[in-house]
Structure 1
Amino acid sequence: MAQTVRGVVARGKGAPVEVVDVVVPDPGPGEAVVKVQACGVCHTDLHYREGGINDEFPFLLGHEAAGVVESVGAGVTDLAPGDFVVLNWRAVCGTCRACLKGKPWYCFATHNASQPMTLANGTPLSPALGIGAFAEKTLVHSGQCTKVDRKASPTVAGLLGCGVMAGFGAAVNTGNVSRGDSVAVIGCGGVGNAAVAGARLAGATTIVAVDIDPRKLEWARGLGATHTVDASAEDAVARVQELTGGFGADVVIDAVGRPETWRQAFYARDLAGTVVLVGVPTPDMRIDMPLIDFFSRGGALKSSWYGDCLPSRDFPYMIDLYLQGRLDLDAFVSETIALDDVEAAFAKMHHGDVLRSVVVF
């Protein structure tokens, strides 16, 4: 039978979030109920609250989560109660044109649960990124559950569900950073610093972190940046070029997603270098640049969706790296908080005071 749990809901654009009763139905065919153990506070949740994703209020926020499977619906054979899982928002279908081409990380028909979770009065909730994990339990499609080694703490494992995976994958999967490469990362919040960590693990020898906040640059150094650039005090493009022999970086990752930072990334790369956009722009943003510059510089301009990850491949791999001491996921956790503290965590994130606040149940 359906269960009632506590969850964080955004009722309207810009309104403070509320902790309310949420009704979670029993899992139907292909679905699973997960008891959430930890969920990171991601900037995407704030975008939902501000109406920056869509206007399908009320939203059940939270998506960067890990927990234990409580029950599964009919037809679920690869998941069982008691499994420790990280939730993902790109559960691949296996049958769309991207999957059939052998590129499931681009799946165009990803799965979410069919049944809605609701408020106590029956109002359907829109779960953030199809997950809705700022709740004691949540209903998802079974394909959104990726089993990982339970020796990892849920507090850090859940970070793979969005920000860390997006940044790490932007470097390793989308940017194809390899041994000896030079890399610049513009924007050193959670996603940008994960890109720094990914570039280090991939063997980059020069890793330039660019930001306007000295705290974020210090975090980047701790995660593997070899050089830092305070873009509020110096020309970021010129400095990246100087630090890479006058040529520019082989791979430049824009983890901010604004026209000015993308332009910096474009001109801070070497000829035939790669630009990766992983920061999410808003629909109103535009760029006006000389077309000849695109032609004459060559290379690749890429967008990274969720770090172009395949959860079944990448999540267990990254947890193994963490357990081996090679990927410092603990460094991303600035604080652990209660469910009632999400609104305050949004304020801290907005002011750049944390890499991640993590709700622990």
Structure 2
Amino acid sequence: MPQTVQGVIARAKGAAVELVEIVVPDPGPGEAVVAVQACGVCHTDLHYREGGINDDFPFLLGHEAAGVVEAVGEGVTDVAPGDFVILNWRAVCGSCRACLKGRPWYCFNTHNATQRMTLTDGTELSPALGIGAFVEKTLVHAGQCTKVDPAAPATAAGLLGCGVMAGFGAAVNTGGVGRGDSVAVIGCGGVGNAAIAGSVLAGASTVIAVDVDDRKLEWAKGFGATHTVNSRERDAVEAIRELTGGFGADVVVEAVGRPETYEQAFYARDLAGTVVLVGVPTPDLKVELPMIEIFGRGGALKSSWYGDCLPSRDFPMLIDLYRQGRFDLDGFVSETIGLGDIEAAFEKMHRGEVLRSVVVL
């Protein structure tokens, strides 16, 4: 039988979120119902509320979540009721051209649930990133459930569902940071600090954090940044070059998604260095660079999709590193809140007061 639960929706562009009753259908073939235990408040949820993704309102917000599988539909074999899982928004299909080339982290046909959750009047909801997890129970494709060690608390594990994985992967998977590399990270929110932590874990010798907020730069030090630059006070490109022997960084991760910070990243990299864009830009933004500079500097300009992760490979690995004390997921949790506190959490995010507010259900 369908279940009626509490969840948080964005009904219209810019409108305050609402806590309402959500109808969750029984799982159909290939689907699973997950009892959500914790879900991070990610900037992407705010993008949805502001109409920055699309206008398919109303949205069921939330996507950075962990919980326990409650029920599965026909044909599901990889997860079972009782499994502790992290929800992912790139459930690889295994058969698209990217998957068939052995690059499933680029999957062009990722799975989502076929059925829709609804309001009690039957209005269909658009789940954020195909998940919708600011809700007591959610319906997803079973491939969006990645089983991990249940010894990890949901407040920490759920963060791998989006922001932390995106930042870690931007540095390690997309940027290929390795032993002895110099790295600069521009933008030190949750994603940027995850890129810093990943760079440190990968063996980078110099990790430079760049932001306009001294509070965020202090957070960056906690995740292992060897140097910090407040770009309100110093020219970021000049400072990064100075800290890397005059050359620029081997890898620069842009975690803001603005033309001016992307330009900083471009000029702050060494010859043949790599720029990784993981900050999410709005559709109207454009960047302009001299083609001779693009040609003359060599190297690579990359975009990072979800940290180019493969959830089945990366989530369990990062949970293992967390449990060994080598990857501080708890450090990203600024506060725990309830479903009714999400609008206030968006305001704290705007003001730069939190790395992550985490909803606990």
**Which residue in the other structure is 2:329 paired with?**
329
**Which residue in the other structure is 2:315 paired with?**
315
The CA deviation at 1:290 is 1.1
1:85 aligns with 2:85: yes
- TM normalised by structure 2 equals 1.00
Whole-Å Cα distance in 2 between the matches of residues 91 and 77 of structure 1? 15
The CA deviation at 1:287 is 1.4
**Which residue in the other structure is 1:261 paired with?**
261
- TM normalised by structure 1 equals 1.00
1:50 aligns with 2:50: yes
| TM-superposition CA deviations, 1:263-290 (whole Å, max 9, x none) | 0000000000000000011111111221
Whole-Å Cα distance in 1 between the matches of residues 267 and 110 of structure 2? 35
| Structure 2 counterpart SS, 1:172 | helix
Whole-Å Cα distance in 1 between the matches of residues 269 and 290 of structure 2? 16
Whole-Å Cα distance in 1 between the matches of residues 349 and 318 of structure 2? 24
Whole-Å Cα distance in 1 between the matches of residues 136 and 32 of structure 2? 14
Count of residues in correspondence between the two structures? 361
The CA deviation at 1:78 is 1.2
**Corresponding letter in the other structure for 2:269:** R
The CA deviation at 1:297 is 0.4
| TM-superposition CA deviations, 1:178-223 (whole Å, max 9, x none) | 0000000000000000000000000000000000000100000000
1:12 aligns with 2:26: no
**Corresponding letter in the other structure for 2:154:** P
| Structure 2 counterpart SS, 1:140 | strand
Whole-Å Cα distance in 2 between the matches of residues 25 and 287 of structure 1? 44
Q: Which moved further from structure 2: 286-295 or 205-214?
A: 286-295
| Structure 1 counterpart SS, 2:209 | strand
| Structure 2 counterpart SS, 1:165 | helix
| Structure 1 counterpart SS, 2:132 | coil
Whole-Å Cα distance in 1 between the matches of residues 290 and 99 of structure 2? 36
- Counterparts of 1:285-300 in structure 2 under 5 Å? 285-300=285-300
Whole-Å Cα distance in 2 between the matches of residues 40 and 286 of structure 1? 29
| Structure 1 counterpart SS, 2:4 | strand
1:158 aligns with 2:140: no
- Give structure 1 stretches of 5+ with no counterpart: none
| Structure 2 counterpart SS, 1:349 | helix
**Corresponding letter in the other structure for 1:210:** V
1:100 aligns with 2:90: no
Whole-Å Cα distance in 2 between the matches of residues 5 and 201 of structure 1? 40
Whole-Å Cα distance in 1 between the matches of residues 106 and 151 of structure 2? 30
1:134 aligns with 2:134: yes
CA RMSD of the aligned region, Å? 0.3
**Which residue in the other structure is 2:30 paired with?**
30
1:66 aligns with 2:69: no
Whole-Å Cα distance in 1 between the matches of residues 329 and 235 of structure 2? 31
- Give structure 2 stretches of 5+ with no counterpart: none
Identity among equivalent pairs (%): 79
| Structure 1 counterpart SS, 2:359 | strand
**Which residue in the other structure is 1:345 paired with?**
345
**4+ residue segments displaced more than 4 Å:** none
